[in-house]
Amino acid sequence: MKPPALRRLPGRLALLAGGLLAGLLLAEVAARLLQPDAAADLLFNAPDNAPLGLHCTDRELISRPCPGFSGVDASLGYRVRIRVNALGLRGPEPGPASGARWLATGDSFTFAAQVDEDDTFVARLGARTGIEFWNAGSDGYGTWQATIRYRRLDGRLGVEGVLHTFFLGNDFTDDRLFPVLREQVRRSGRADGTPIPREPAPAWRRFLSRHSYLWGRLQMRRRTAELSRPDSPERGRWRSELAPFTRSGAGELRALLPETRRALAELRDETRRRGDRLLVAVAPPAFVVDETRLAATFALVGLDPADADPDAPGRAALGLLADLGVEACDLTPALRAARAAGERVYFTYDGHWTPAGHRVVAETVAACLR
């Protein structure tokens, strides 16, 4: 016969397990209710949750959405089904044109994996204007890739215009780095169309990063510690991208402009040669629209928030477009007005636009098109 203590052991273990589970559930509830760090979009790094197989190697573009991909992008705050057609565009397969067609180019703000297809500004523009807009955006794209995508797709779609979204957060840097990164891809030997390799995270970690706000907070604490190290490569990268948004970084911003000017001029010349219209929408990062994010974001990488000049890159981009004679659509005032009215136009744990943000962008671009 077992001693009394051993007979009671299973019950005690069950109570212990129940207590731990209850504690974790309470901690999860608290993590969902408490206000997160104002730089949560930077710290959480939602792109880590992108589905495997979404992007393929392209030796000319660096990468592109894999034709025929179908899957789900899930992270804190959204769960979205994504489809990519045979042309590598987000959305359905194109049929015969029912009217004017435009190509929407740009980076992840255009592709918009964070919102349902019908909620993207590209789809909303079609409903507002009666124009067929085709989503040729892709994560990491700059202006050079926009021109290449346009050249490839114009003949197949018969577009009459290009709407290019220029993201102020990193497109200047992306334009400068594009030739270097493309050469690296060409030297890698990876064949065109092969899915870009990425080490898959364990299933339990993928589940937690997509569903648990408590896990998200723990990850953000880890990244805060990493970014606080002066020798952190990621800290250096973010600091370099944020420096143009400061007064002391004016020289760094000026150094970025010539390459973007060349890229924009090529896109302008290509559309003019083909007889198509070009409109460039200038898109701000979240901390430019939401001042509460600015101080936290700058402090995270050792920049002085008092030195911030958040509109400097926007002024520079609009100045370039004016000099080049390219139509521009400044999205910052409308997004700021929506934010001031209490709308959440950027996700909390992701720096991209919410459905409300896409609505504001669609309304603003539609007005610019008129």
Is 19 contained in some domain? no
Is 29 contained in some domain? no
Domain region containing 45 = 40-369
Is 46 contained in some domain? yes
Which pLDDT tens digit goes with each residue over 55-113? Answer: 999 999 999 999 999 999 999 999 999 999 999 999 999 988 788 999 999 999 999 99
Model pLDDT, residue 32: 80
| pLDDT range class, residue 17, cuts 50, 70, 90 | low
- Domain count across the chain: 1
Indicate if the pLDDT at residue 169 is higher than 70.
yes
Angle at which helix 250-273 crosses helix 171-188, to 10 degrees, equals 70
Q: How far is CA 61 from the centre of its chain?
A: 17
Is 217 contained in some domain? yes
Q: What pTM did the predictor assign?
A: 0.92
Model pLDDT, residue 357: 98
- Closest C-alpha to 67, from 45, 43, 85, 80: 85
Is 14 contained in some domain? no
Is 17 contained in some domain? no
Model pLDDT, residue 198: 78
Which pLDDT tens digit goes with each residue over 100-138? Answer: 999 999 999 999 999 999 999 999 999 999 999 999 999
Is 110 contained in some domain? yes
Which positions ≥6 away from 205 have C-beta within 8 Å? none
Which pLDDT tens digit goes with each residue over 141-168? Answer: 999 999 999 999 999 999 999 999 999 9
| CATH at residue 191 | 3.40.50.1110
Indicate if the pLDDT at residue 207 is higher than 90.
no
Model pLDDT, residue 227: 84
**211 token code pair:** 């569903």
DSSP H or E stretch at residue 327: strand 327-330
Is 9 contained in some domain? no
> What is the arithmetic mean of pLDDT over 48-53?
84
Give yes or no for a contact between 264 and 280, defined as CB atoms under 8 angstroms apart: yes
- Closest C-alpha to 315, from 299, 328, 301: 328
